[in-house]
Structure 1
Amino acid sequence: MSEKTILLIDDDELVLKLLDINFRQKDFNVVDFLGGEGAFEKAKEVLPDLIILDIMMPMIDGWTVLKQLKEDDSTKDIPVLVLTVKGAAEDISKAMEVGACRYVVKPFNPSELVSLVEEILETD
């Protein structure tokens, strides 16, 4: 599955690095973005095949970014996988209602996450 681009949005540099390494090993093009501020604009610039988005970020949180992505014509059809420490049922429901395609709770298994992303992109 080459030539697919993933935009990673998280405020934790270690998570970004871990994800970056794992997806690059599977021949994905990866764009890392630290934090929520400017993330929506970056998504519009990159127009990735998939976005992995953290929810708990300072300044502009993932809820705001997700809502912006799903309300904009140029980004509304990009699948968004939410990756967060918030595992409550109401958070999962909210993410799906706003437009996330999947919800993964941290801590996570990187190889399982890569497999999930491959599955999402194959069915997209």
Structure 2
Amino acid sequence: MKKTVLVIEDNKEIRENTIELLELAGYRVIDVEDGKAGIHAAEKELPDIILCDIMMPLTDGYEVLENLKGNSSTTNIPFIYLTASAEKKEIQKAMDMGASAYICKPFDVNELIDTVERLLQ
């Protein structure tokens, strides 16, 4: 059975490219374009792993992670931030909040797939 990846990304082009890469690597992908929808999708679908942008309208990536870590059904799902921010304080905040990994955009395809595979083992 294919592992399921939830992609939460407001930029359509980045979202579509990420979906294509993950599907080519053999994953089932669910995608949403904002954090609020991402929280709902995670609670409903219980994906194997979540990729999430930080800067999004409605609900940002920090709020998404905080909500999911506070829910017993989603707290243990590996959570990867995919974001354009490479500032050390942002990376540290994300990791302190419980993110499993932090990948800066634009990202390397191999880095993305390797990180997903490592966290799913």
TM-score (norm 1): 0.93
Contact 1:52 1:83 (8 Å CA) reproduced:
yes
Q: Residue 58 of structure 1: CA displacement?
A: 1.1
1:38 maps to 37
Residues 15-61 of structure 1: CA deviation (Å, up to 9, x unaligned): 11111111111110100111112211110001000000100001111
Q: Residue 87 of structure 1: CA displacement?
A: 1.1
Gaps of 5+ in 2: none
Letter in structure 1 aligned against 2:66:
K
Are positions 1:93 and 2:121 aligned together? no
RMSD value, Cα: 1.0
Q: Residue 74 of structure 1: CA displacement?
A: 0.6
Letter in structure 1 aligned against 2:57:
P
Gaps of 5+ in 1: none
Contact 1:16 1:32 (8 Å CA) reproduced:
yes
Aligned residues: 121
Distance 1:112 1:93 in 2: 19
Letter in structure 2 aligned against 1:20:
I
